[in-house]
Structure 1
Amino acid sequence: MFARRHPFLFFLCVICGCFTFGLVAVSGIAVLGAFVVNNEISGVISSSPGNIGVVEVTGPIISSKKIIQDLKAFRDDDAIKAIILRIDSPGGGIGPSQEIYRELIKTRAEKKVIASMGSVAASGGYYIACAAQGIVANSGTITGSVGVIMEYANLEQIAKKIGIAPVVIKSGEYKDMGSPMRELKDSEKQLFQNLVDELHAQFVSDAAIARNMEINVMAKLADGRVYTGQTAMKLNLVDRIGNMDDAVQWAGQMAGIEGELTLVYPKEDKITLFKKLAETLFQDINLGTRLSGQFRYGFN
């Protein structure tokens, strides 16, 4: 009875309930994962001066701020002779990925940079790896996925069933393009396709230039498929098969470091549980807003 008398309130209750449940679940997992990672790496962070800096890119690439800060810090430190970019990421936002890529290009002009791939370094993760002077992957690393994706959920039929009719007042023909409350028009689909194609061309061009590969060769590989590290090496998408230690040894050789190779990790921010939870919730809300509102797009 409530659903029939108050369809709009019923719809809001359902959406809010589902979103809140997902938010709490994802937030709990994310915070727990953060503490597990911190516990794992806390024992290997060196308190003594070292000669190889390690910049970690873990999880979705949502922000470039911390990574760029770490790159600049190691680049300006005369004691650091080489940098390892440790990637374990499925990709992420286009803007942040491009910002990291540009910063790596600047950095490798001054110091040797080697990318070390973990379990996955795909899409945006592969994009930033290309900016290194060498890429090391495990045989089973999942990489590639060179492409751009744009998607959204069409809730039009659900809205009709519960009696919700959208009211739109807009300043231009395409201002509500991508609204989840209606189908895309053919002209709108073409505009979005042109956008995706342009972003994809940027991805292919940057990756090809950084890898010293012909653009048409990279373009043939850039159909969105994923590759294992072993296959990626055969296709010249990565340079060597190996683990983190192999990447460190290679970086030391390229930089001409004599003696012991000592890794230096950026100082971890002292962060409280409450602050960590708040940041995680903010990211979840931001992601949820993008998913429920307009298109989600990126190097994913």
Structure 2
Amino acid sequence: MFSRRHPYLFFLLIIASIFSVSLIGLSLIFSFAGKDSDYSGLNKLSGEKVGIIEINGVINESKDVLDKLKRLCADNSIKAIVVRINSPGGSVGPAQEIFREIKKTALKKKIVASLGAVAASGGYYVAAGTEGIIANPGTITGSIGVVMGFTNFQELLQKIGLIPVVIKSGSYKDIGSPVRKMTEKERQILQNLSDQIHRQFISAIAEGRKMDLRKVESIADGRIFSGEEARKLGLVDRLGNLEDAIEWAGRMGGIKGKIKSVYIKDKRLPFLQYLTESALNNIFNMVSKRYLYADFMMQPI
């Protein structure tokens, strides 16, 4: 009777039921898939190996990389680690966290960085924590600097008749607001913050690369370098590809004969959780209007 009186509603309920069942089924599949080994090919390879961790895209969080570093460090069959970097940079905090964890890992196991197409700013920041860096001659790297970007919509809002209303508890709580002109005092506060983080960046490179601080300062003006030029400047140790990096790391780790390598696999989330987290991340990126850049997108300030 219901289907006859409300045919369209009945049809929508059927479609919704099918969709729900499909989501549940996919969720179960992904849940079971998430129980796979943490390593790609580890069970097939015995003996001493080189572990490979990939850092791709903008560095917005560090937990995944930190977890992988810890697991490789705890595995006795892994004698050395290669961090493969393809990143234009990312948030200052996560880049610093990864840099620190790499430095701690280097006290226990040999670790080198392999720079791909781009390893600039925060991508290079991370690489500087390793014991050696290898890049392709055409790798884009460097970009040692910090930038903040703001867009002011005040005149546009006035033209369309919108009047912003801001209630704040402190004089600088809405610093960088897009709906009013920035004051000179606010500009100086943000400039000081940028300079402070820039000094941290320079100090980390000088420490990680064992370079003279003044030499790093002379090239830390935000310019980019090719891998070939970076090697001449002391920012890179060798020119070569990922396979060369694996060979180098393996020999540093004391592996004899043919060197085997394994990739750490990303942990797979249940499908529904994946959809939820993806949606939340998209919403977060849409509403975040102010970013601190280490020459790429940084955390909201």
Letter in 2 for 1:299: A
Check if 1:141 corresponds to 2:139: yes
Q: Which runs of 5 or more structure 2 residues have no equivalent in the other structure? A: 1-38, 296-301
State the alpha-carbon separation in 2 of the partners of residues 281 and 299 from structure 1: 26
Other-structure match for 1:117: 115
> Which of 276, 280, 283 is the matching residue for 1:282?
280
Check if 1:218 corresponds to 2:213: no
> Which of 286, 291, 294 is the matching residue for 1:296?
291
Letter in 1 for 2:206: A
Other-structure match for 1:55: 53
Seen in structure 2, the aligned counterparts of structure 1 residues 142 and 281 have a Cα distance that, compared at 3 Å, is farther
SS in 1 for 2:93: helix
State the alpha-carbon separation in 2 of the partners of residues 268 and 196 from structure 1: 34
Other-structure match for 1:38: none
Other-structure match for 1:196: 194
SS in 2 for 1:57: strand
> Which of 30, 41, 45 is the matching residue for 1:46?
41
Q: Which runs of 5 or more structure 1 residues have no equivalent in the other structure? A: 1-43
Other-structure match for 1:175: 173
Letter in 1 for 2:117: S
SS in 2 for 1:177: coil
Matches within 5 A, 1:66-215: 66-215=64-213
Alpha-carbon deviation of 1:262?
Answer: 1.2
More moved, 265-274 vs 47-56: 265-274
More moved, 195-204 vs 150-159: 150-159
TM-score (norm 2): 0.81
State the alpha-carbon separation in 2 of the partners of residues 184 and 78 from structure 1: 55
* Identical counterparts, % of pairs: 45
Other-structure match for 1:254: 252
SS in 1 for 2:288: helix
Alpha-carbon deviation of 1:256?
Answer: 1.1
Alpha-carbon deviation of 1:285?
Answer: 2.3
Alpha-carbon deviation of 1:72?
Answer: 0.3
- Number of aligned residue pairs: 254
Alpha-carbon deviation of 1:155?
Answer: 1.1
Letter in 2 for 1:124: G
Alpha-carbon deviation of 1:153?
Answer: 1.4
TM-score (norm 1): 0.81
State the alpha-carbon separation in 1 of the partners of residues 282 and 89 from structure 2: 17
Letter in 2 for 1:45: S
SS in 2 for 1:81: strand
More moved, 115-124 vs 174-183: 174-183
